[in-house]
A and B are shown apart, each in its own frame.
Chain A
């Protein structure tokens, strides 16, 4: 079992829908990252958070340290949001090492 579990694995939505992607982890962490990977491979860091909530444009990331759970929300989704969204955690004792989830493939249809 992976230390980082994401759900769903695949998600298809209509343009304008509110989207939630979930991430659960099993170890104590110092930080959690949400990443976006477009076709072709390039990865962009969306958020790094260790508590509470962060917002950037239409994206919101929340984390509950006690429940070892994080969510990534996309409001007013758009076809250009179609990508793989990856959750990664830095363990409390893992130094620079990030452990990655398998990713959630999001497709937003017009």
Chain B
């Protein structure tokens, strides 16, 4: 247990569906991150939030929409995804940007 939880752990959705991924951290950290891990590829940073403000958006398509309502919660809203978006989506948090990150267990997403 790293103190970072993600729900759901597995998600299958159609290309026309709208769904959301949730991340929660119980560590009192100020920074939260979304990563994408596709098969046979390195982890890719998607978004970074610091004190609930988005500080980094790594050229992610608009069909992925992050939301950080407070420093403990981070959401990734998904709509009209493509099959190539199927991947493991990992959330992480850290005391501040630049410090050691603690990862959640990930959500395995399959787009059909």
A45→B105 contact, CB < 8 A: no
Residue of B nearest to A43 (CB): B103
A95→B105 contact, CB < 8 A: no
Q: What number of A-B contacts does a CB cutoff of 8 Å give?
A: 64
A96→B106 contact, CB < 8 A: no
> How would you classify the secondary structure of chain A's contact residues: helix, strand, loop or mixed?
strand
Q: Kindly list chain A residues whose C-beta atoms are within 8 Å of the C-beta of B103.
A: 35, 42-45
Taking CB atoms and an 8 Å cut-off, the chain A residues in 40-55 that contact chain B are 40-45, 48
Residue of A nearest to B2 (CB): A44
| A86 sits at the interface (CB 8 A) | yes
Q: With A41-B105, A41-B106 as known contacts, state yes or no: A96 contacts B55, CB within 8 Å.
A: yes
Contact of B48 among A40, A41, A96, A100 (CB under 8 A): A96
Taken together as a complex, chains A and B put the C-alpha atoms of A77 and B45 apart, in Å, by: 31
A100→B106 contact, CB < 8 A: no
B42→A102 contact, CB < 8 A: yes
Interface code B31-64, partner A: CB below 8 Å = 1, 0 otherwise?
1010001001111110010100001101000000
Residues of A within 8 A of B (CB): 2, 4, 30-31, 33, 35, 40-45, 48, 86, 88, 90, 95-103
25 inter-chain pairs at a CB distance below 8 angstroms, sorted by A residue, are A4-B42, A30-B98, A40-B105, A40-B106, A41-B90, A41-B108, A42-B103, A42-B105, A43-B92, A43-B103, A43-B106, A44-B2, A48-B99, A48-B100, A86-B43, A88-B43, A90-B98, A95-B56, A96-B33, A96-B48, A96-B97, A98-B43, A98-B45, A99-B42, A102-B42
